Chains A and B, each alone.
Chain A
Amino acid sequence: MSQAFTKAMARNIFYGGSVFFFLLFLALTFDSEATFPERDNRQNITESVAMGKRLWEENNCIGCHTLLGEGAYFAPELGNAYKRLGGREGIMAFIMSRPKDGVPGRRSMPQFNFTQEELEALADFLKYVSEINTADWPPNIQG
């Protein structure tokens, strides 16, 4: 015989299920927030790091790079750039070395003409990012 299947019950499950799982999500978010201080390296967010993050954003670096694996996939991962490029000096030297008109036939990072203070802020930001506990991601130094 035919099975009962009512719109009212389907509706109840939609509303009930949505509220239930959103509350569960909020509970997990609450727990995550409590755990963040142990992982997110917040003690090292200096003014320079904050400035570096702003520069990171205002030059749309995420439009080519990934940061902790999120972003565009056109240029290398930068979450571990601090380790891969050899610390702050390596990062600053690389950013400064980019040719203004690019490299014929190849991908090349633009020349942003940053001041020394800005370069240091970006390096500080990438150093801070590299010290976030990312559960051992990326798998190796190549990012």
Chain B
Amino acid sequence: MSDKLVAAQVRHYPPGDLAVWILIMAELLVFALFFAAYGFTRMGHVALFNQYQATLDRTAAVANTLALITASYFVVRAVAAIREGNSRHSARWLWAGVGMGVLFLFIKGGEYAEHLSHGINLSTNTFYMFYLSLTFFHFMHVIVGVIVLVILAVKVGQGRYSAAEHADVESGASYWHMVDLVWLILFPLVYVMH
């Protein structure tokens, strides 16, 4: 670790913009409330939740988990690169992150198409209501995350950030990690837990 890198980390902690952290806290609170509501409701309908949980495509969800974790790894590398002032590498890692995010959207979109073809919607039953609400709300966050990464990748590629000035990259990365983190709770909660 170079001295410059350490200095950059000390200058901004937590990394990125405070406004983004306020947003992240609010979003985590929304998800936490939704997760709590899920757990609470599940207690009253364990059999129903277990029955319909079995209809979900767990393989797709595992693939998506890997996609998001990989994307987060790429984003970490992108931030590390820009902290070294290496815009070219940083942009490349960001585009790789975008790729993984898009992969997630494709796989999840496939799952939704499958549900739709079976006529499943928010009003089908309580389990699907929660499953669709939670995953779709998260799905929209992934879309936003991908858009953010694309914007950052373009701007980094244009060399608009440097080792000294890259708070936007850190902000975007923080947001992306939040989206990833939420999925890491959502996946076991909704797809796996019996």
Contacts and interface: CB of A to CB of B under 8 A. Distances in A.
Interface residues of B, number: 22
B12 A24 contact: no
Contacts, number: 45
Contacts of A20: 140, 144
A20 B144 CA distance: 8
B121 A31 contact: yes
B18 A4 contact: yes
Contact of B23 (A3, A13, A23, A38): A13
A34 B121 contact: yes
B17 A5 contact: yes
Contacts of B121: 31, 34-35
Nearest to A34: B121
Nearest to B17: A9
A90 interface: no
Interface of B: 10-14, 16-20, 22-23, 121-123, 136-137, 140, 144, 167-168, 171
Contact of A4 (B10, B136, B167): B167
A91 to B, nearest CB: 31
A1 B13 contact: yes
Contacts of A4: 12, 16-18, 167
B137 A24 contact: yes
Given A3-B12, A4-B12, A4-B167, A9 B20 contact: yes
B70 to A, nearest CB: 25
Given A3-B18, A4-B167, A20-B144, 18 more contacts: A1-B11, A3-B13, A5-B18, A5-B19, A6-B19, A9-B17, A9-B19, A13-B19, A13-B22, A16-B144, A20-B140, A23-B140, A24-B137, A24-B140, A31-B121, A34-B121, A35-B121, A35-B123
A4 B10 CA distance: 12
Contact of A31 (B10, B20, B122): B122
A2 to B, nearest CB: 9
B27 to A, nearest CB: 9
16 contacts: A1-B10, A3-B12, A3-B18, A6-B19, A9-B167, A9-B168, A9-B171, A10-B19, A13-B19, A13-B20, A16-B144, A17-B23, A20-B140, A20-B144, A34-B121, A35-B122
